[in-house]
Amino acid sequence: MAKWGMVIDLEKCTGCQACSTACQMENNRLPGENYQDVLYYTEGKQPTPTLKWFPRPCMHCEEPSCLHVCPTKATFKTADGVVLIDWNKCIGCKFCMIACPYGVRFYTDEKPLIEPNIKDVFKGSGDLSWNPPYKGPQQDNAHGVGIQPNGVVSKCTFCYHKISKAPAGTANLTNEDEATREFTPACVRTCAPTARYFGDLDNPNSEVSRMISSKKGTRLLEHTGNKPQVYYVTGSGAGGGAAVPMGRNGINKV
Amino acid sequence: MTTQVEAKGPVGMAMMAGVAGLVISLGIVFSNLMSSGHASFNTGSNGVTWGLPVVNYVFFVLTSTGLTFVASLAMVFGFKEFYPIAKRCVWLAVVTLIAGFASLALEIGHPFRMLWAIPLSFQYLSPLNWMGVFYLAYLVLLLLKFQKVNANDWDSSGSRTLGIASFVAVVIAHGTLGGVFGAMIMRPMWYGPLVPIYFLLTAAVSGAAFAVLITYLTYGSAGNMPEKVRNLMAGSMSKVFAAVLAVVILAVVSRTVIGLWTNADGMQVWDHVVASPWYWIEIVLMVAAFLMLVNGSSPMLPALMVIVSLFIGRYEFIISGQLVPLFKGSWVPGLIQYTPSLTEWMTTLVAFSIALAGWAVGEKMLNLAAAPEGKNS
């Protein structure tokens, strides 16, 4: 069984946000509820401030604090290492949103980010919070895939509807290989500068494993002990503007 | 045999106010929740996740904890002079617990699903799971204990065991509630192994304040109180209240100083906390209440001041812990702005109304002034 993980090469990330857009289309995200986001921020002060950015999906942690705090086991980890939410069991207590150090979880019932409220324009039927004119993945409430029902929390699934169909023993899921293209997460598939790599962290020959070992892959907020399965490769740090943000105390968040 | 003491305070008025408050607040909350769901709250995934309804919840369940402590002084620890207010405190513990639960139920996405999903899943790692288990056990034990006391069974071994069991259950329950916040290392303002102890102290003072205030409301004034109640209020109750309050003041000041000193990311929120006039109102109310208590003035006003101060404190704790965004970005503010919506304030009114009406109903129908023979006036 694979242990899926991702590597994001910050030396190659151009901050184009194609990943966020692809994710929004693939997973029918509402504005402001980006499973995959690129955070823009400024580092340094006048007269030499620099614009930087940081791509941030769910980290699908090895020790997910969101899972530990969920009182109903609605948040669970699959055998292949993906953290998902069973929308049939989620009670909407939002403790997972409190406990996630990365801020990558979203509650359905909130004030809309933009007007008109898209949920009002495309009203949902039954339990579903809205009914978009286009629909991406098959509705799979037990794995938190599809349109979010009312009163629950949602998050990035690593495009579980795609990766779970990959043939057993696959080491890399990449857009460049026709055999794996359809099973590759939308953000990875669409990344123009190929800054994203996806594969089996347990396979020493996978691209992600090789990159982590050869380029010193680092993980975000290690002090929380969550052990993300998304690694960042920062290189010399002298590349473009993609970088791991520093905390307000000036300490790097890695 | 127990003595029925006629309440001379504004119990009837309190009941009417409570029922009116409940009708109004539930009307507004339900109509807004039906029309726009939790979008009628000012909470959000990119802002404050747990808003005012959670503040109400923590405020009331910890008040319930404290009221059990006060009742336990007589029923568990044998300080018999507290008997004249013990039954009332047990009843108040029940109604404040229900008030807290009610506010939380209005905040949760699927409160009914919670009833089966938590026990059937039983995530033993989650503090919230254990909080549910022990607060439920506590509620059941409290009701059983009240039933015993209401049947004038104060001292049988069964009644005593129930008293001890509910005391133990609530200590653990409030400890798990402390864990809900104290275990969150990613939210440094909340994090700390002593948060359950901090909750224990503030719960105790909250219970003491409510016990005093409600006793005064029951009788109207000290002059109307039976002698033993009057002596208790002016004597031991005031002293216990003042002592616990002093420790709480120290705890709040200590948290503030450490918070301001620490420069871990997330602790900057303390600058915001002390810049708010509400923080200083909280401190001044507590210190003034303490000074009034040690100077021997009537504990009624200090009780009211402490209740207001504690509510501010709960708000400050729960909301401020979420104000520093986890990551910064060009569209992410330095600090999140949060003001509760009308619907959220109405959940506060729901909780206060349940507590008020619940107390008044008990006072009218359940002879809350009862005490074991020879222990009451």
Residue of A nearest to B45 (CA): A106
B4 occurs within a structural domain = no
Residue of B nearest to A33 (CA): B45
CB contact under 8 A, A69 and B127: yes
* Model confidence at B209: pLDDT above 90: yes
Question: What is the pLDDT averaged over residues A200-222?
Answer: 93
Task: Spell A80-104 as b/e; 16+ CB within 10 A means b.
Answer: bbbbbbbbbbbbbbbbbbbbbbbbb
Q: How far is CA B159 from the centre of its chain?
A: 25
* Model confidence at B1: pLDDT above 50: no
Tens of pLDDT along B352-369?
Answer: 999 999 999 999 899 888
Residue of B nearest to A220 (CA): B327
Mean of the per-residue pLDDT values of chain A:
91
Place of tokens 């919840």: B57
Question: What is the pLDDT averaged over residues B229-244?
Answer: 94
ipTM, two decimals: 0.91
A254 occurs within a structural domain = no
A222 occurs within a structural domain = yes
Distance CA A185, CA A173 (A): 8
Distance CA B93, CA B76 (A): 15
How would residue B377 be classed by pLDDT, with cut points 50, 70 and 90?
very low
Q: How many CB pairs under 8 A join A and B?
A: 144
Distance CA B173, CA B155 (A): 25
CB contact under 8 A, B38 and A41: no
What number of residues does chain A have? 254
B370 occurs within a structural domain = no
Report the pLDDT value the prediction gives residue A127, as an integer from 0 to 100. Answer: 85
Q: Which residue has the higher pLDDT, B212 or A41?
A: B212
As a whole number of Å, the CA-based R_g of chain A is 18
CATH code for the domain of B45: 1.20.1630.10
Report the pLDDT value the prediction gives residue B334, as an integer from 0 to 100. Answer: 79
B158 occurs within a structural domain = yes
A109 occurs within a structural domain = yes
Tens of pLDDT along B224-234?
Answer: 899 999 999 99
CATH code for the domain of A173: 3.30.70.20
- Which of these, B374, B370, B366, lies nearest to B3 by C-alpha position? B370
Rounded (10°) angle between helices B157-182 and B127-150 = 150
How would residue A191 be classed by pLDDT, with cut points 50, 70 and 90?
very high
Look at chain B and report how many structural domains it folds into: 1
The whole domain housing B208 covers: 11-365
State the smallest CA–CA distance between residue A82 and chain B in angstroms. 18
Look at chain A and report how many structural domains it folds into: 1
How would residue A242 be classed by pLDDT, with cut points 50, 70 and 90?
confident
How would residue A58 be classed by pLDDT, with cut points 50, 70 and 90?
very high
Report the pLDDT value the prediction gives residue A252, as an integer from 0 to 100. Answer: 67
Report the pLDDT value the prediction gives residue A134, as an integer from 0 to 100. Answer: 84
B377 occurs within a structural domain = no
- Which of these, B134, B70, B63, lies nearest to B103 by C-alpha position? B63
B6 occurs within a structural domain = no
Which SS3 state, helix, strand or coil, does residue B216 take?
Answer: helix
Question: What is the pLDDT averaged over residues B96-122?
Answer: 94
Report the pLDDT value the prediction gives residue B263, as an integer from 0 to 100. Answer: 83
* Model confidence at A240: pLDDT above 80: no
What number of residues does chain B have? 377
B78: left (phi over 0), alpha (psi -120 to 50) or beta: left
Q: How many CA atoms lie within 13 A of A149 on its CB side?
A: 21
Report the pLDDT value the prediction gives residue B266, as an integer from 0 to 100. Answer: 86
Q: Using an 8 Å Cβ cutoff, are B114 and A91 in contact?
A: yes
Considering only CB atoms, B38 lies closest to which of A70, A90, A110, namely A110
How would residue A244 be classed by pLDDT, with cut points 50, 70 and 90?
confident
The whole domain housing A17 covers: 4-233
**Does A106 touch chain B if contact means CB atoms closer than 8 Å?**
yes
DSSP per-residue string spanning B284-335: HHHHHHHHHHHTT--SHHHHHHHHHHHHHHHHHHHHHTT-S-SS--TTS-SS
* Model confidence at A6: pLDDT above 90: yes
Q: Residue B85: enclosing H or E segment and its boundaries?
A: helix B83-107
